[in-house]
Structure 1
Amino acid sequence: GPSLIIAYAPCINHGIKIGMSKAQTEEKNAVAVGYWNNFRYNPALAAEGKNAFTLDSKAPSGDYKAFLNGEVRYNALVRQDPEKADRLFEKSEENAKARYAYLNKLVKLYGAEE
């Protein structure tokens, strides 16, 4: 059947400090720090009595703020207003942790049918 893939990809217009030739490394780092989560949902599996939701990402590790600082669009804010950037980066990291916790709840919710 049809699939929908929503992916994270650095934008050449926004730029990344390590260079666009390292986009796959940046994508891997985004998942590692929890900026982006990889998961799958397949409702057909539920009909088979299997877990329809799979969280492929591991718990966030690494320096979330360093990841954000590696993206030129976020680093521009650091250069313009370091205090505001720090507050927003902190809030973004908290939101990322909350998203991961929510996704773990979905794993348990959809796994309860097994």
Structure 2
Amino acid sequence: AQVSIGANQNQLLKVLKEAESYKGPSLVIAYAPCINHGIKGGMTRTPSVGKEAVESGYWHLWHYDPRLADEGQNPFVMDSKEPDWTRFRPFLDKEVRYTALSKAHPAEAEELFAAAESNARWRYDSYRRMAAMEYGKQ
């Protein structure tokens, strides 16, 4: 599962409950801003940064519960809404780790940022397709 505390606390709690109750290994990956991200405005913005990461398409919320397949349901659930892709680059520009790269190596940074957005779009589309698959219907 992928979660972000600042983006959707209900999804976070649901995922943690599912992971805890599952009889087997569970993996929950959380978007967790840290001081090394160099968040403009400081670490007090952590919850809003997590929300912005999801809304911009930088981070996607989803969970997978194999027990749903036993009930004939798709075990992959996409919890993110369609991102506002116009906010992807501005999201990057709010973190010093990205703006420092832009200042030191502008051409390379542009190429990497474009590749990062392209990859984020590809992941979102892949997750959306997985979430649309039908299970249990023969």
Q: 1:65 & 1:85 partners in 2: Cα distance?
A: 11
Q: Give the superposition deviation at 1:14.
A: 2.7
Give the Cα–Cα distance (whole angstroms) in 2 for the partners of residues 112 and 46 of structure 1.
Answer: 7
DSSP-derived class of the 1:7 partner: strand
Root mean square deviation of aligned Cα: 1.4
Aligned to 2:97: 73
Give 1:22 deviation, angstroms. Answer: 0.6
| TM score, norm. by length of structure 2 | 0.76
- SS of equivalent residue, structure 1 residue 63: helix
- CA deviation string 1:25-68 (max 9, x = no partner): 00100001111000010000110112211101111104211101
Please say if 1:97 is aligned against 2:126: no
Is 1:82 aligned to 2:106, yes or no? yes
Q: Which runs of 5+ in 1 are unaligned?
A: none
Alpha-carbon separation, structure 2, partners of 1:15 and 1:22 = 11
Q: If the length of structure 1 is used for normalisation, what is the TM-score?
A: 0.90
User: Identity across aligned pairs (percent)?
Assistant: 46
Q: Deviations along 1:74-107, whole A, 9 cap, x unmatched?
A: 1110111122211111111111101000001111
Look up the match of 2:32. 9
Greater than 6 Å deviation, 4+ residue runs: none
Aligned to 1:58: 81
Higher relative contact order (CA 8 A, sep 6+): 1
